[in-house]
Structures are given as structure tokens and as C-alpha cells.
Amino acid sequence: MLMTPARRCLVPVTAFSEYGLAPGEDGKKPLHWFDVPSRPIFAFAGIWRPTERDNAYGFLTTEPNAIVAPIHPKAMPVILHDEDYNRWLTAPWDDLKDVVAPYPSQLMRVEGLVTADADHARSPVLF
């Protein structure tokens, strides 16, 4: 799928979340929300394929940057820069190695400890 540009897509998001490593005082792992303040809507590098029922999609991950790593040390989504959208959708795989990289941590923000069942937990933004 990665080799075929026609199977690549953009996954639009306003933020993404990861559970923290250690449970909080309530015994539940806290939920942390990450966003890019300068980009209210941004995109993950996605892939898709048809299935018998519908289309299925996923997104690529890469090693975490400095803001994500303390919370989720295994991986983070591949966040595309606006100028890389068309490249992701059309370029040969060998020309995309620099795109599949951690997003600069200085351009991101993390919201503090948010428990999953809190009244103030973020809801997805539909558009």
C-alpha cells in the first residue's frame, strides 16, 4: 500500500490523544491531548484499501518527538506539513523518507492530565 500513491490518503484531525504511562491518583491512566496550535486542522499520513464491507484506513506512525515521548515512548502519528500533502499523495515511496519523520515538537502543544471520563474531556470535532 505504501508503494502505491493511489492507496495513500490524508487523515484530517484537530488533535490526537495518548494515555499516560502511569495511573493517576484515581487509578486510571490520564489522557493527554496533542495538537498543533498554528494549524486548527492538520493531517496524518494515511493509507487505505477497499474491503468487502467498506473502505478501511489507517495512518503511519514514527518514533515520537520530544513532547510525545515522555507520554508515549513507542510511537506517534506521522503529521504532515501542509506543503507535503501533495507529495504524500503522488510521489514515489523512495522520495518520501523525509516526510515519514517526527513532527517538530516545538510546533506542538500537549494539554495536561485529562482523565478519559472527565466532564471536560475533549470530544472529536466533526467537520
Q: How many domains does the chain have?
A: 1
By residue range, what is the domain housing residue 77? Answer: 5-17+37-114
DSSP per position, the chain: -TT-GGGEEEEEES-EEEE-SS--TTSSPPEEEEE-TT-SSEEEEEEEEE-SSSEEEEE-EE---TTTTTT-SS-EE-EEPGGGHHHHHHS-GGG-TTTSSPPPGGG-EEEEEE-TT-TT---PPP-
**What pLDDT, on the 0 to 100 scale, is given for residue 103?**
98
pLDDT tens-digit profile of 45-60? Answer: 999 999 999 999 999 9
**Residue 11 located in a structural domain:** yes
**What pLDDT, on the 0 to 100 scale, is given for residue 3?**
85
**What pLDDT, on the 0 to 100 scale, is given for residue 127?**
39
**Residue 127 located in a structural domain:** no
Q: What are the pLDDT tens digits along the chain (127 aa)? A: 678 999 999 999 999 999 988 887 888 888 999 999 999 999 999 999 999 999 999 999 999 999 999 999 999 999 999 999 999 999 999 999 899 999 999 999 998 754 444 444 445 444 3
How far is the C-alpha of 92 from the C-alpha of 88, rounded, in Å? 9
**What pLDDT, on the 0 to 100 scale, is given for residue 44?**
99
**What pLDDT, on the 0 to 100 scale, is given for residue 113?**
57
**Residue 126 located in a structural domain:** no
**What pLDDT, on the 0 to 100 scale, is given for residue 114?**
45
**Residue 120 located in a structural domain:** no
**Residue 125 located in a structural domain:** no
- Tell me the pTM: 0.84
Instruction: Identify the CATH number of the domain in which residue 63 sits.
Output: 3.90.1680.10
**Residue 53 located in a structural domain:** yes
**Residue 93 located in a structural domain:** yes
**Residue 57 located in a structural domain:** yes
**What pLDDT, on the 0 to 100 scale, is given for residue 79?**
99
**What pLDDT, on the 0 to 100 scale, is given for residue 29?**
86
